């Protein structure tokens, strides 16, 4: 192997357009959610092929508020939401934040996603929704999930936090269910530094989301003239007895708006989105197409003929045939300049915060398997094929040492 390279896990692109917009925004002294957030929402909706997008302060808030919308349609606190056992902990947290009880279902080991064959046995009279996660950017089996949801009259929320650029049967994820929730954290394909966004084709859902993100207030127009330029608003005093609707609160809400500076960063990223996506896809596919040579000791996901993986990261699963551990492999990669992250864990049985729900180790064997054996590696736009080949060579070298 040649020279040692650095392969950092994540990066952030800050285009010149973003820097210019940030300067303009600072000059106006108006940095709270306003016209640039609206511009970002419109651009993101266009990119995602949906009618509406509502920007928020994190991907966790996106999951939470998408679920909280259901309270307007008869859901009650304590009702249940079906959730895959394996995901970043924010997925499970969001269900609780929205006032629901997560009911966990195991995943498929080869896809890392919710196992549709196990969903119906978890449905009860209190079930209101299925929260489908496109983990590592690989689309979940949405046809099966939507079919089950229709039979049982359930909502479908997509957790597309890691799935920017993912396609399911030619359609972008995030518009396949009732709502889609994206993260805009700095390691993701489109970033606002911190942030999240909910996509939907339902204008009423979007209106409720705009209320929820601002304390549940009745003031929830898609474009707020007051926020944009302190203009007169003809709707402002249309509450009972002329009450100011900015201080009429229709529902239990949250405080999780995106600000103008974050939106400026996002707008710049959208301008170069296809360039970022192309570089990430090239890196991801370079590795996935060559990874089979590490069998039977290591495995990863694969791209199906009718789907496109959103290029978030390369998952690597240490297989049962290997006598080395995830920690052994991760340490070797780190020593050679390749940053790793674990592939999360089984939320109900491997994350102490969910112990109060009463699940026991062994109930989710596939999620627990990945939780013990999975790592992932970055494929971001600041990396190239040289780094991807270095990753492959480093893994090959490790396996050769192990086999000796």
The domains located in the chain, with CATH, are 16-270 (3.40.640.10), 273-403 (3.90.1150.10)
Whether 135 and 162 have beta carbons less than 8 Å apart is answered as yes
Question: Which has the closest alpha carbon to 66: 254, 270, 192, 194?
Answer: 254
Question: Which has the closest alpha carbon to 398: 325, 333, 306?
Answer: 333
Q: How confident is the model at residue 88, as a pLDDT?
A: 97
Whether 65 and 256 have beta carbons less than 8 Å apart is answered as yes
Write down the H helix ranges in 9-108.
Answer: 16-28, 35-48, 59-68, 90-97
148: phi then psi, degrees, rounded to nearest 5 = -65, -45
CA 198 – CA 259 distance, rounded (Å): 16
Question: Which has the closest alpha carbon to 229: 57, 36, 20, 17?
Answer: 36
Q: How confident is the model at residue 3, as a pLDDT?
A: 82
Q: How many Cα atoms sit within 13 Å of 15 on the Cβ side?
A: 21
Whether 275 and 15 have beta carbons less than 8 Å apart is answered as no
pLDDT by 10s per residue, the chain, length 404: 668 899 999 999 999 999 999 999 999 988 988 899 999 999 999 999 999 999 999 999 999 999 999 999 999 999 999 999 999 999 999 999 999 999 999 999 999 999 999 999 999 999 999 999 999 999 999 999 999 999 999 999 999 999 999 999 999 999 999 999 999 999 899 999 999 999 999 999 999 999 999 999 876 666 665 555 556 666 666 666 667 767 777 899 999 999 999 999 999 999 999 999 999 999 999 999 999 999 999 999 999 999 999 999 999 999 999 999 999 999 999 999 999 999 999 999 999 999 999 999 999 999 999 999 999 999 999 999 999 999 999 999 999 987 66
What count of other Cβ atoms lies within 10 Å of the Cβ of residue 167?
Answer: 15
Q: How confident is the model at residue 219, as a pLDDT?
A: 65
The residues near 218 (Cβ < 8 Å, ≥ 6 apart) are: 211, 239, 245, 246, 248, 249, 250
Cα dist from 94 to 83, 113, 182, 209, 351, whole Å: 11, 18, 13, 15, 15
What count of other Cβ atoms lies within 10 Å of the Cβ of residue 228?
Answer: 13
Show the CA angle centred on residue 241, arms to residues 239 and 244, nearest 5°.
40
Q: How confident is the model at residue 228, as a pLDDT?
A: 57
Q: How confident is the model at residue 231, as a pLDDT?
A: 67
Q: How confident is the model at residue 402, as a pLDDT?
A: 78
Q: How confident is the model at residue 227, as a pLDDT?
A: 59
Q: How confident is the model at residue 246, as a pLDDT?
A: 72
CA 6 – CA 3 distance, rounded (Å): 10
CA 216 – CA 219 distance, rounded (Å): 9
Question: Which has the closest alpha carbon to 398: 320, 318, 344?
Answer: 318
Q: How confident is the model at residue 140, as a pLDDT?
A: 98
Q: How confident is the model at residue 148, as a pLDDT?
A: 98
Q: How confident is the model at residue 275, as a pLDDT?
A: 97
């Amino acid at each position: 192997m040649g020279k040692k390279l650095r392969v950092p896990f994540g990066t952030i692109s800050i285009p010149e357009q973003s820097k210019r917009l940030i300067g303009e925004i600072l000059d106006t002294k108006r940095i709270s959610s306003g016209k640039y957030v609206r511009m970002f929402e419109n651009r993101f909706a266009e990119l995602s092929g949906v009618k509406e997008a509502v920007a928020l302060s994190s991907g966790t808030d996106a999951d939470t508020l998408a679920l909280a919308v259901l309270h307007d349609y008869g859901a009650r606190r304590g009702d249940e939401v079906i959730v895959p056992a394996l995901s970043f902990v924010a997925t499970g947290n969001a269900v609780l934040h929205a006032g629901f009880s997560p009911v966990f279902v195991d995943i498929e080991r080869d896809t890392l996603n919710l196992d549709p064959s196990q969903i119906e046995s978890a449905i009860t009279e209190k079930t209101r929704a299925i929260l489908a996660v496109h983990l590592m950017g690989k689309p979940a089996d949405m046809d099966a999930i939507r079919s089950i949801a229709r039979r049982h009259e359930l909502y479908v929320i997509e957790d597309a936090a890691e799935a920017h650029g993912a396609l399911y049967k030619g359609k972008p994820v995030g518009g396949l269910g009732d709502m889609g929730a994206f993260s805009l954290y700095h390691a993701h394909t489109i970033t606002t530094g911190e942030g999240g966004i909910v996509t939907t084709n339902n204008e009423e859902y979007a209106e409720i989301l705009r209320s929820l993100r601002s304390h549940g207030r009745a003031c929830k127009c898609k474009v707020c003239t007051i926020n944009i330029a302190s203009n007169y608003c003809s709707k402002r005093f249309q509450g009972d007895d002329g009450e100011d609707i900015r201080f009429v609160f229709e529902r239990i809400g949250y405080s999780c708006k995106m600000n103008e500076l974050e939106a400026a960063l996002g707008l710049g990223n959208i301008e170069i989105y296809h360039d970022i996506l192309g570089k990430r896809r090239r890196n991801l596919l370079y590795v996935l197409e060559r990874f089979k040579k590490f069998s039977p000791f290591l495995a990863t996901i694969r791209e199906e003929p009718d789907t496109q993986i959103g290029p978030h990261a390369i998952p690597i699963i240490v297989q049962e045939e290997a006598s080395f551990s995830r920690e052994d492999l991760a340490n070797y990669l780190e020593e050679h300049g390749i940053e790793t992250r674990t592939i999360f864990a089984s939320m109900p049985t491997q994350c102490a915060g969910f112990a109060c729900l009463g699940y026991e180790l062994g109930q989710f064997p596939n999620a627990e398997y990945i939780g013990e054996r999975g790592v992932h590696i970055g494929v971001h736009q600041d990396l190239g094929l040289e780094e991807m080949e270095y990753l492959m060579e480093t893994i090959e070298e490790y396996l050769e040492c192990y086999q000796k």
